[in-house]
Amino acid sequence: MQDYDEATAFLGEWGPFQRIMFLLLSITIIPNGYVGLSMVFLADTPQHHCRLPNSLNGTTGEANLSSLLPVEEVDGEMIYSRCRRYKTPVTDGFNDTTRETEPCVNGWEYSTDRYISTIVSQWDLVCDNDWKGPMSLSMIFLGNLCGAIISGQVSDRYGRKVVLFGGIAMQTILSFMQMASSSWEMFSILCFFIGVGDISNYVTAFVLGAELFSKSVRITFTALGICLTFAIGYAILPLIAYFVREWKLLILALFLPELLFFPLWWFIPESPRWLLSQGRVEEAEAIVKAAAKKNGIKHVGEIFQRSDNMVLKSTNKLKSKHNYVDLVRTFHVRIITVISLLIWVITAISYYGLTLSTSNMYGNPYINCFISAVTDMVAYIISWRLMLHAPRRISTASMLLLGGSILLLVRFVPTSLHILTLILVMIGKSGIAISYAIIYIFTAELYPTLVRNMGLGACSMASRGATIISPYLVYLGTYNKDLPFMLMGGLSIMAGFFCFILPETYGQRFPDTIQQAQPVKCCWPFSLMCRQRPPSSFEISASQQRQSQNGNTFLHSLTAVQCTDDITA
């Protein structure tokens, strides 16, 4: 019996076609590294204080400011109040304890030492409006959430290529529109739709690559093509932001190069695996034959034999019936979905919480951001080696447990040892980044082709929904600097234990139908979650009848697969 991997094995694993596709798909990922994280600089808050009345503006030297603005302590440093001012200048008859203050009724003055302008200084997002800065980033993550829901369904129904380039077009065009925003509300609404395009591009590029490449190249593409290029985009962000310190010009500098991606439409093909799942065998063969020609393979005959009733061909009659309900319809896929969602949510909160907090730690924000990006690069290279040679389940669990444990140690570091704190945070973030890279290929290998993009979309949807709160998780550090690290460390350890519920996929064949999904193979203390009642004779008869009607030549028993402990017993 023939399947897709066997039918296309003659292409080889690393010919010119695979190398070109690897490069082109990787390039499309680079902007994803700075789309959301650019808000670290776009929405940063410069030093500021109340703007003084016009009658006093011309006479306010440093000495006069002390008589016009109250002083407050922030992080052990005495600075001029950011939200209050004295109603009247100091006189001999008043002292600082008796003088009356008022809000900044004339607006604010912002320091230009670090930024020429940000959206905070553009629309005065300070004091009572300081919640709006993090909200802009949360709107991007909210767009990621909605985009994950929509793009998975659209991609599985209309194709990977349409969604890939549609996402690129959306985030590029709307980013240019942001520069013309007349209000914070307009800017934030555009952030939402940019987030939709951002996640659509990212997830679909991963799925398209996973379906184009063989197993060994698929792993390399996940770690280096997806994650490493994401980190490269993240590293580009502080370099550009350092030289471009006006928020509108920064957006232009970041997104103008994306116009070069549109000609790639004529070079990146549709997924042959997806075309087969839709019954479009001739189109799939045309793409594979073109790939064979690029690899120097001649005299290619019939590739996908109709008489063999391939697994993917048998899904043609059901292609319009698969939706998100299939992620929880059967027992094993349901357990995989629930546990994967939990792991993705926790990993995303921890990763983005740490990423957003590192630029605000002690030291120069541009340097800290660049160090964080370089740390991610190293982590993704390590994840690549782990994906090649180590089991998925053990790798993911061990990295989450390591990262979480290191983050908990931050609580015991003296506040004066800033460098040690930064080192521990980077090590903990590396462990979580490694697991974040592995769960992409891990999840893709767990789900069958029919619902793979929906499964990844659901997991990405949940994780992006969780990241909406990550800016405010960082905000907790203003009350207790250790609290965010303790929360992220504890959650990461919990996610590490959840990994032991999932089946191992290392060295296993890609499942194509829902019936081919691997059974969960739990370890103590999760073994009770794996048990299910045996199917009735009516359910077995109904299943066999449906399979016969659909032309599926692969008949799978519904009998529950027990845990490893039960089998060995």
Q: Summarize pLDDT for 284-318 with one digit per residue, the tens.
A: 888 888 888 888 887 667 777 654 444 444 444 44
CATH of the domain at 276: 1.20.1250.20
Query: Cα separation of 359 and 369, whole Å?
Result: 5
The answer on pLDDT for 229 being more than 50 is yes
Q: Quick one: 306 and 232 in the same domain?
A: yes
Q: What are residue 84's DSSP bridge partners?
A: 103
Domain boundary, last residue among 284, 313, 342: 313
Q: Quick one: 416 and 511 in the same domain?
A: yes
Q: Confirm whether 318 is domain-assigned.
A: no
Q: Confirm whether 563 is domain-assigned.
A: no
- What are the structure tokens assigned to 111, written together? 């320091």
Max mean pLDDT range (87-101, 277-291, 339-353, 535-549): 339-353
Query: Cα separation of 403 and 386, whole Å?
Result: 16
The range of the structural domain enclosing residue 164 comes to 1-46+111-313
Q: Quick one: 298 and 338 in the same domain?
A: no
Q: Confirm whether 553 is domain-assigned.
A: no
Q: Quick one: 1 and 134 in the same domain?
A: yes
Residue 319 has a pLDDT of 45
Q: Confirm whether 539 is domain-assigned.
A: no
Q: Quick one: 152 and 28 in the same domain?
A: yes
**Contact between 23 and 267 (Cβ < 8 Å):** no
Domain boundary, last residue among 268, 291, 313: 313
Q: Confirm whether 378 is domain-assigned.
A: yes
The answer on pLDDT for 565 being more than 60 is no
Q: Quick one: 80 and 4 in the same domain?
A: no
pLDDT band at residue 451 under the 50/70/90 scheme: confident
Secondary structure (H, E, C), 342-398? HHHHHHHHHHHHHHHHHCCCCCCHHHHHHHHHHHHHHHHHHHHHHHHHCCHHHHHHH
Comparing CA positions, the residue from 504, 510, 515 lying closest to residue 554 is 515
Residue 381: how many other CB atoms lie within 10 Å: 17
Query: Cα separation of 552 and 312, whole Å?
Result: 9
Q: Confirm whether 543 is domain-assigned.
A: no
Query: Cα separation of 498 and 16, whole Å?
Result: 40
Q: Quick one: 282 and 332 in the same domain?
A: no
Q: Quick one: 134 and 269 in the same domain?
A: yes
Q: Quick one: 246 and 347 in the same domain?
A: no
Q: Quick one: 372 and 265 in the same domain?
A: no
Q: Confirm whether 416 is domain-assigned.
A: yes
Q: Which amino acid is at 525?
A: P
Q: What are residue 72's DSSP bridge partners?
A: 79
Distance of CA 457 to CAs 151, 175, 539, Å? 7, 23, 30
Total domains, the chain:
3
Q: Quick one: 300 and 391 in the same domain?
A: no
Query: Cα separation of 382 and 113, whole Å?
Result: 38
Domain boundary, last residue among 282, 313, 344: 313
pLDDT, tens digit (0-9, with 9 covering 90-100), for 43-56? 888 888 888 776 55
Q: Quick one: 162 and 257 in the same domain?
A: yes
SS3 101: strand
Query: Cα separation of 312 and 325, whole Å?
Result: 20
Q: Confirm whether 236 is domain-assigned.
A: yes
The answer on pLDDT for 447 being more than 70 is yes
Residues 6+ apart with CB under 8 A from 438: 383, 386, 387, 392, 395, 396, 399
Residues 6+ apart with CB under 8 A from 25: 205, 208, 209, 221, 225, 268
531 versus 301: the higher-pLDDT residue is 301
The residue-averaged pLDDT of 107-123 equals: 88
Residue count (the chain): 569
pTM of the entire structure?
Answer: 0.75
**Rounded (10°) CA dihedral 403, 461, 284, 24:** -60
Measured in degrees and rounded to the nearest 5, phi and psi for residue 459 equal -65, -45
Residue 564: how many other CB atoms lie within 10 Å: 14
